[in-house]
Amino acid sequence: EPGSWRWGTTACVVTGASRGFGRSLVRLLAPQLGPGSVLLLLARSATQLAELADELREGATGLRVECVAADLGCEEGLRRTAAALREVLPAVPAGRLLLVNNAGSLGDISKSFLDLTNPDEINSYFAFNVTSALCLTSTALHAFGKRPGSSRMVVNISSLCAVKPFKNWTLYCSGKASRNMMFQVLALEEPDVRVLNYAPGPLDTDMQLLARTKTGDAEMRQYFQSLQESGQLIDCTVSAQKLVKLLEEDTFCSGAHVDFYDI
C-alpha cells in the first residue's frame, strides 16, 4: 500500500546518527521500517542519540530503537559497538540488513600536506574514518549472517573528495578514497551483498561551516563560502530522500559510486 516500506522487517544500523545527514536519514527510514524491525543508532553524543531515539519511538510503532554512544575512533568504543552488533543483529527476525556507514570527520583542514608530520594525528584520523567502517561492516555482516531469502545492503557515505583532490583536505580526501575502494572490494568478494558508495553532495551542515571557516587555503575557503552564499548547499533531508529512493529502486551496480548530482 502507499507509504508502506516494501522491505518488511529490517535490521537497520546507522553510524553518525545523532546529527547532520545521519539524523535526517534515520528520520526518513524509521517510519517505513516494518513491524519487528530494529534500528541501531551509533554516535558519540549520548544526549543527542537519546533525544532522537525518543522521537523515533513515538513516531513508529513496532520498531525497536537501540542506541550505542561510543567514539568509533578508539578501541574501546569500537569494541562496545561491535558487541552491540553481535547482540542485536542475530536476534532480529529480519528479511533485510541495511548498514549505513555515515560517521566521519574532516580532520585538521587548516593544515597543508607538508604540515601533516605527526603520525598519531594521522593514525587517529584513519582509525575513526577508515578502520572503524571496515571493522563494523565486517562485524555486522558476520552477525546478521547469510539467511535464505534475506538481503543485505551496505552503504558508504562517500564524497566528491573520494575521486577529486582538494587543497588542505589530505586526510579527508584520502580517507574517502580509501573507503570507496574498500567497499568496491566488498562488492567484488560478496556478490550477494548490495554495496553502494553514495556521495550526498555539499550538505548544509556543521562540516560545511568548518570548510568555509577553517580551510587553510584561501581560494578553497572562498569556494565553500560562495557555495553557501549562492544557495548551492543541499538540505540533508533532500539528499537523504535521494538515497532512500536509490535503495528502494535497487538498480545501482553493486560497488558503484553514485553522486547526488548523478540522479
CATH of the domain at 247: 3.40.50.720
Q: Which pLDDT score is estimated for 6? A: 64
The reply to whether 159 falls in a domain is yes
Whole-number pLDDT of residue 4: 47
**Mean pLDDT per segment of 10 residues, for the chain of length 263 residues?**
62 97 97 92 97 92 93 97 97 92 97 98 98 98 94 97 97 98 98 98 95 96 96 98 96 98 93
Q: Is 122 exposed, middle or buried (0-12, 13-18, 19+ CB in 10 A)?
A: middle
Q: Where are the beta strands (DSSP E) in 137-186?
A: 151-157
1 inside domain? no
195 within 8 A of 187, measured Cβ to Cβ: yes
- The three-class DSSP label of residue 73 is coil
CA distance 69 to 10: 21
Q: How far is CA 228 from the centre of its chain?
A: 23
Q: Which domain holds residue 35?
A: 10-202+236-259
Domain count, the chain: 1
- Tell me whether residue 148 is in a domain: yes
Q: Would residue 219 count as lying in a domain?
A: no
Please name which of 81, 21, 85, 26 lies closest in space to residue 52, comparing C-alpha atoms: 26
Give CA–CA dist 155/198, Å, rounded.
7
What is the grid cell recorded at 172?
579527508
In eight-state DSSP terms, residue 33 is S
How many Cα atoms sit within 13 Å of 113 on the Cβ side? 6
User: Is residue 250 situated within a structural domain?
Assistant: yes
Distance CA 202, CA 158 (A): 11
Is residue 161 situated within a structural domain? yes
Asked if the structure places residue 218 within a domain, the reply is: no
222 found inside a domain: no
Task: Collect all residues with Cβ–Cβ distance below 8 Å to 258 and sequence separation of at least 6.
Answer: 196, 197, 198, 199, 246, 252
What is the model's pLDDT at position 163? 97
Amino acid identity, residue 100? Answer: V
